[in-house]
Amino acid sequence: MTVLKIIGILLAIMMVAAAGVWLFSLSGSYNAETLKPDGAVTGKAMIVYDPGLSGNTKNVASLMANDLRAKGYDVVLAGLKSSDASKLSGYGILIVGSPTYGGKPSGTINSYLEGLNLPENITVGVYSTGGRDNNDSNQFMVDILKNSSVRVEVSEKFGSSADKVDYSNFISQILT
């Protein structure tokens, strides 16, 4: 074999492996996990997210879930397509997170929000992740929920890196 054929074969193998990793990361939208507080339970929260292409929205959701858990909340962290994402009865808090594409939330998040049947007295917050610093993507989500008479308590846009931001302010606003 020539060196070029070997390099071509190696590149093809690397591309197939990268595609497999990417597809596996998208499977996070089908999962749900429950985080229990160490002490007494003070409430129940659901965080629903579309992991997006980078997975950053899920990373933000995980950080928020850990903050809520530390504050005594029983938290379900649910990928958008998990069966738990639509089971909102008994929850006092719902947080919905979306990646941003072209300044807007993902279409799957929009569909999820349009189909929500929220229980009374639930506090709702939305967030989005992505490179743009404006809050337009959140306003789309807020507007969808306003059409169903839901008041969004907190709306925030986070950048493209989950590890550089303190999410406790967002959680504190949800809890007040």
The answer on 92 and 38 residing in a single domain is: yes
- CB under 8 Å to 17, separation ≥6 — which residues? none
- For residue 36, the model assigns a pLDDT of 92
Number of domains in the chain: 2
The answer on 105 and 52 residing in a single domain is: yes
- For residue 25, the model assigns a pLDDT of 47
The answer on 105 and 40 residing in a single domain is: yes
Retrieve residue 173's tokens. Answer: 């606003």
pTM of the model: 0.80
The DSSP bridge pattern shows strands 152-158 and 104-105 to be unpaired
- For residue 24, the model assigns a pLDDT of 47
List the pLDDT tens digit at each of the 176 positions of the chain.
688 788 878 888 877 766 555 444 444 566 889 889 889 999 999 999 998 888 889 989 999 999 999 999 999 999 998 999 989 999 999 999 999 888 888 999 999 999 888 888 899 999 988 865 556 777 888 888 876 667 788 888 887 665 556 788 889 889 98
Q: Which residues pair with 129 in a beta bridge?
A: 99, 158
The answer on 36 and 20 residing in a single domain is: no
Distance from first CA to last CA of the chain, Å, rounded? 68
The answer on 14 and 43 residing in a single domain is: no
- For residue 164, the model assigns a pLDDT of 53
Helices (H), the chain: 3-26, 56-70, 107-114, 136-146, 168-175
The answer on 100 and 146 residing in a single domain is: yes
- For residue 160, the model assigns a pLDDT of 64
Report helix, strand or coil for 120: coil
CATH number of the domain to which 151 belongs:
3.40.50.360
- Asked if 112 and 79 count as a contact pair (C-beta separation under 8 A), the reply is no
Q: Which amino acid is residue 146, in one-letter code?
A: K
The answer on 19 and 86 residing in a single domain is: no
- For residue 35, the model assigns a pLDDT of 87
The answer on 159 and 72 residing in a single domain is: yes
The DSSP bridge pattern shows strands 93-101 and 104-105 to be antiparallel
User: Cα–chain-centroid distance for residue 109?
Assistant: 9
Task: State which residues form the domain around 104.
Answer: 31-175
The answer on 14 and 87 residing in a single domain is: no
